[in-house]
Copies of this chain bind each other. A is one copy, B any other.
């Protein structure tokens, strides 16, 4: 199991229509083959600079790679993520 997570902050104002639209559009990621346990999260700790998070799990590295290379993922990154995300941090976890 690989748990891929990304914490991020948007360029949009908090509570804006643009923010809602971005978060809604991210649902497309949940439908990409191999994606399990897709979650959209609000980041609430004052100890970092991020406002949201996505989390998903893959059975193995091949499934993760298939997601990364999937045209719906690359389209999301190019057309929505890169233009609208101000800062982000990816972490990938495996169980110890």
Contact = CB atoms under 8 A, between A and B. Distances in A.
Contacts of A7: 91
A94 B42 contact: yes
A54 to B, nearest CB: 10
Interface residues of A, number: 26
Interface string A60-74: 000000000000000
A96 B22 CA distance: 13
Contact of A92 (B39, B43, B90, B93): B43
A53 interface: yes
29 contacts: A3-B41, A4-B45, A7-B91, A23-B96, A39-B93, A39-B95, A41-B94, A41-B95, A41-B96, A42-B93, A42-B94, A42-B95, A42-B96, A43-B92, A43-B93, A44-B92, A44-B93, A44-B94, A45-B91, A45-B92, A47-B89, A47-B90, A48-B89, A48-B90, A48-B91, A50-B91, A53-B91, A55-B93, A89-B89
